Amino acid sequence: MPPQPPLDSGPSPGPLESWTEGGLACGHFGRRPYLEMLTAMRARVEARARNEVADVLWFVEHEGVYTAGRRKAPGDLRAPGLEVIEVERGGRLTWHGPGQLVVYPILELTGGLRDLHAWLRLLEEAVIAFLRGHGVEASTSKLGTGVFVHGRKIASIGIAVRRWVSYHGLALNLSPDLEAFRKIRPCGFEPERMTSLAIEGAGTCPEPGAAARDLAALLVPRIHALRARPPSPLPTEPESSR
């Protein structure tokens, strides 16, 4: 990989905290506006595709915002006139805001990471392991991509892929105000299906910076392990996936 400061080509000001986990640069940016991070993420993707920068994991809380992926449906919006930012990730309509930890892995997909189903499963497995470490038993569900606790959704996943660089990522509900979901049908569900670690963990919840470090420690070894596997035969690059 090209030599460089670990978090260049990122948003300004830089992260509140930066560290290296298993050779992968990580940054926790605190609370930032969504469009600021989206612009920086798109620029980073292009730079990564040109091999000018290395892989990174960005962790952030957003100011309250609604975003719609490529699978959005007309009935997803329950409050007329609500401002929604349309983006290139997979998935439908969701909310990001305080109390929710958003993870943006901006990675070149090589080796087994080009199996996008395996890449999505990796993200789910890391979140499940994180929640288990905080006393919450979670799982995947035939209801859809993401992580669920007894049928209630605690983490949503939506990625995009451009020139074999993955971006967007996952959103884990630590302790958000779930009332924000009532203006939409999040991920196509009724808002009552959404939950959080603060609820499922009987009120115990790490602060976002600590959660970012814990989750990075679970993500990075899995990323290295999947990347070390041979790619699927003749993988076809999608423009986005959920």
Beta bridge partners of 212: none
26 is catalytic: no
Q: For strand 56-62 and strand 24-32, is the pairing parallel, antiparallel, or unpaired?
A: parallel
How far apart, in Å, are the Cα atoms of 210 and each of 107, 213, 225? 22, 5, 24
How far apart are the C-alpha atoms of 49 and 98, rounded to whole Å? 31
* Strand positions, DSSP E, the chain: 17-21, 24-32, 56-62, 65-68, 85-86, 93-96, 100-108, 139-141, 144-149, 152-162, 165-173, 240-241
Sign of CA dihedral 67, 145, 108, 62: positive
CB-count burial class (<10 Å; 0-12, 13-18, 19+) for 104? buried
Question: Catalytic: which of 93, 187, 216, 218?
Answer: 187
Helix/strand/coil for 214: helix
Indicate which residues carry an active-site annotation: 187
